[in-house]
Amino acid sequence: MSAQPDRGIDPRGPRFAAGITAVLLLAEVFLALIGARTAATILLAGLAALFAWGAFAGVRRHPFGVVFRRLVRPRLSPPAELEDAAPPTFAQGVGLLVTGVGLVLALVGVPLALELAGAAAFVAAFLNSAFGYCLGCQLYLLLVRAGLIRRAPVAVGP
């Protein structure tokens, strides 16, 4: 009932990965703006594939997560507390949705799709990396409120 994780991940891992993703998304927006549309499309497709990897295989198996565990975490002090892997995994799905829709729209010729999808995904990844803001958590709650995600009522306890 209460969301106590039985096993956790270092919360700095997803934020490290989001930082790399944010930089790559900025590069994608820049390429699209200066007219290097093929390069921007390939980069956005690559990022969408990475989001899919994180969403379906889990953030623990995401390449940037592996980089964090192998190269970064050994140099850091242990985390103050561990976090559940489910929220960042859900956030990867949100990233996949945004970049995937942008990619499809760009491929059918919708103007500004590369720029706007990249910018939207950048804002989410940047806020997550720099401030610890979890857009996926917010969207999940809005889906619950809208009645799109529902489970049987259970008794609440401490």
Choose, by CB under 8 A, the member of 12, 57, 87, 97 that binds other proteins. Answer: 87
User: Nearer Cβ to other proteins, position 50 or 85?
Assistant: 85
SS3 9: strand
d(CA 118, CA 23): 11
Cα separation, 80 vs 21, in Å, equals 24
Report if residue 108 touches other proteins, rule: CB under 8 A: no
Q: Is the sign of the CA dihedral 153, 5, 133, 104 positive or negative?
A: negative
Q: How many residues bind other proteins (CB under 8 A)?
A: 50
State yes or no: residue 123 binds other proteins (CB under 8 A): yes
Rounded CA separation 57/62 (Å): 7
Distance of alpha carbon 59 from alpha carbon 67, whole angstroms: 12
Smallest distance, other proteins to C-beta of residue 32, A: 9
Q: What residue ranges bind other proteins (CB under 8 A)?
A: 1-5, 11, 26, 29-30, 33-35, 81, 83-84, 86-88, 90, 111-112, 119, 122-123, 126-127, 130-134, 136-138, 140-142, 144-145, 147, 149-158
